[in-house]
A = this chain, B = another copy of it.
Amino acid sequence: MSTAGLDRRTRRRQATIEEILDVAIELMEAEGVAALSLSAVARRLGMQPPSLYQYFPSKMAIYDALYQRGNELLRDAYRSAGLTANTDDQLELNLIVATAFCRWCLAHQVYAQLMFWRTIPGFEPSPEAYAPALESIQDLRGHLQATVDAGHLHPDAASDEGIALQTSMMAGLISQQIANEPDASFEGGRFIRLLPTVLEMFYQHYSPTRGK
């Protein structure tokens, strides 16, 4: 990530790579994820299209780099929300980080579509690009486990099933919001504003006294 201590040319190269990715995201925001055109990217950069192949071996490689960048950004947003939260209540903390997660997805719909819907024909993320997504899932698992340990949830909440349940419910709100009301605010969105409700349902379902 840091550019210090490197070759001058290597630094310039890295800057160009970032610039390509920035332009790609911008164009996808304007035209749609699947409508990304390398020619348009090159035009925007004042290059000829084949020159891009100095930096990425294919269009899919650009998607892959963006997939990775998105997962890193989301992981960081998620973590920093957990770290800066000022509360002792584990359940409230869960709401805070879940809100941060959903907020990020709605503010970065292009990334979200690339990361969670996987609708680009022929695109399969590389293990390297997928790694930060696994970290995010681990973080979520940690949050749930901490809530369990604090006695606020049944142990099953931190199981694979509990995680699948929570991610599915959040993914449902996010995908419905993006597909049906992409421009609504976080507070006003018909679907996303149900996030606290949905978390309540989750807590209810995994209440510590479940199964007597």
Contact = CB atoms under 8 A, between A and B. Distances in A.
Interface in A31-69: 31-35
A95 interface: no
Interface stretch (A73-81, A141-149, A160-168): A160-168
Contacts of A14: none
A197 interface: yes
A33 B119 contact: yes
Interface of A: 31-35, 113, 116-122, 160-161, 164-165, 167-173, 175-176, 179, 190-191, 194, 197-198, 200-202, 204-205
6 tightest A-B CB contacts, nearest first: A172-B172, A32-B121, A35-B121, A168-B172, A34-B34, A119-B119
Given A116-B179, A168-B176, 12 more contacts: A32-B119, A32-B121, A113-B119, A161-B194, A168-B172, A168-B173, A168-B198, A171-B175, A171-B176, A172-B172, A175-B175, A200-B205
